Amino acid sequence: MGFIRHVVCAMSGGVDSSVAALLLKRRGYSVTGVFMKNWDLQDEKGLCTAEKDCEDAFRVCQILDIPFHQVSYVKEYWHEVFSNLLKEYEKGRTPNPDILCNKHIKFNHFHKYAVDTLGADAMATGHYARTSQEDEEVFQQTYTAPPTSLFRDRFEIRNPVKLCKGADLVKDQTFFLSQISQDALRQTLFPLAGLTKGFVKKIAAEAGFHHVLKRKESMGICFIGERNFENFILEYLEPKPGNFVSIDDGTVVGTHKGWFTLTLGQRARIGGQKDALFVVDKDITTGDVFVAPTTNHPSLFRDTLRTDRFHWIAVDPPAELARTQMMECHFRFIHQMPLVPCTVTLNMNGSVWISLSQPLRALTPGQFAVLYKGDECLGSGKIVQLGPSEYTLQQGRERLLAATQIKQQKPVSDPGLTEA
């Protein structure tokens, strides 16, 4: 065997990244574990678990007898993820920090740190995802700085690496990786690609990672922890009180502290209402948040949306779409939601219109429209515009019908008839 390959593994202190590091070591690689600190504890009133996570990651590295490093991306996270998040909330959108964190931090700053500073041949993470490359192909990739010109050289021979679903379809995390760069993907190993969560836990138990197995699965936004979202966001944004307005009759039914504390489809907490009301729309110019009775009100269902410039994992759009401007594939905008068949139309500016085979509940601006073709995750684009709701279309049909009926009821005088 030749020289030993050096792999830098992102360690979160959780079971997945711990087992990823173990499997890399078993494959005979020289492994370095790195814990990323993205959020500054000093900003907070407690409740963030980063220090405990770091200790857990360090203990795993001790058990595996591999070097451990800690790197801080607090400043980068603040400027490239969190500030962006606040701006999106102010625009009335609901962003996805996990997708942004992978794009800007893990598969950008951390990738460069692994390759340039630590001299790694590849980086690795504990994501449940797969690429179209074998390990050896990953090691043959060399990092090339992105071109300074707007377009890549068309003659550059490049066989893009595909991002594909992991074997555990329930845990599959390609949704969260849908904005990462081709350059980072080319140099990434996903050791858990072919494993299920159950099997990963079994490996962890056999390896003696008991302190990691005891941990609660981390869900939700990392920097909020167990706190109430409304209280958290109001620490950073000025309250902008407004009215809750009924979509049915336009009456004011209550008040809120700011549209950014609410997202489409959630239950609106309004005192004195005997029936549950749900957020169906927001008007950030007036501050009005529109609500409707029942969780499945037609104003919550839509079947078309537009994204901003779409991020294709392969850099260029699929050949079929580039050729005909249209393509059939599958869509999701929430991790683990069932995939929905759709038709994609490519616009001149790189954005896409997505037309769904059925109306979906609470499509939300700011969230990411992630597209799949079979097992392959094609990439994603931020939802910036929604088509009309079922309620709007229904009202339009009713108005049209009423107008037609009025027309039909009008008596028509015949100029050909004269009195005898």
Tell me if residue 222 is catalytic. Answer: yes
Q: Report the Cα–Cα distance between both ends of the chain, in Å, rounded.
A: 114
Three-state secondary-structure class, residue 407: helix
Q: Is the C-alpha dihedral spanning 252, 257, 259, 263 positive or negative?
A: negative
If 0-12 CB within 10 Å is exposed, 13-18 middle and 19+ buried, where does residue 302 land? buried
What is the residue whose two structure tokens read 């603040």? 78
- Element holding 165 (H helix, E strand): strand 163-165
Residue 359 makes CB contacts below 8 A (sequence gap 6+) with: 301, 302, 303, 390
Give the closest residue to 18 by CA, choosing from 302, 254, 248, 215: 215
Strand order in the sheet with 288-293: 252-256, 242-246, 288-293, 277-283, 267-268
Q: What gap in Å lies between CA 188 and CA 132, rounded to an integer?
A: 11
Tell me which of 9, 54, 101, 342 is the catalytic residue. 101
β-pairing verdict for 122-124 and 6-10: parallel
- Element holding 185 (H helix, E strand): helix 182-186
Three-state secondary-structure class, residue 405: helix
Q: What is the DSSP letter of 82?
A: I
DSSP string, 94-163: ---HHHHHIIIIIIIIHHHIIIIIS--SEEE---SEEES--HHHHHT----PPPSSSS--TT----PPPE
Residue 167: other Cβ atoms inside 10 A: 15
What is the residue whose two structure tokens read 């963030």? 48
Tell me which of 48, 54, 61, 222 is the catalytic residue. 222
Residue 282: other Cβ atoms inside 10 A: 22
Tell me if residue 342 is catalytic. Answer: no
Report CA Rg, the chain. 26
Q: Are 296 and 290 in contact (CB under 8 A)?
A: no
- Element holding 332 (H helix, E strand): strand 326-332
List, by residue number, the catalytic residues. 101, 222
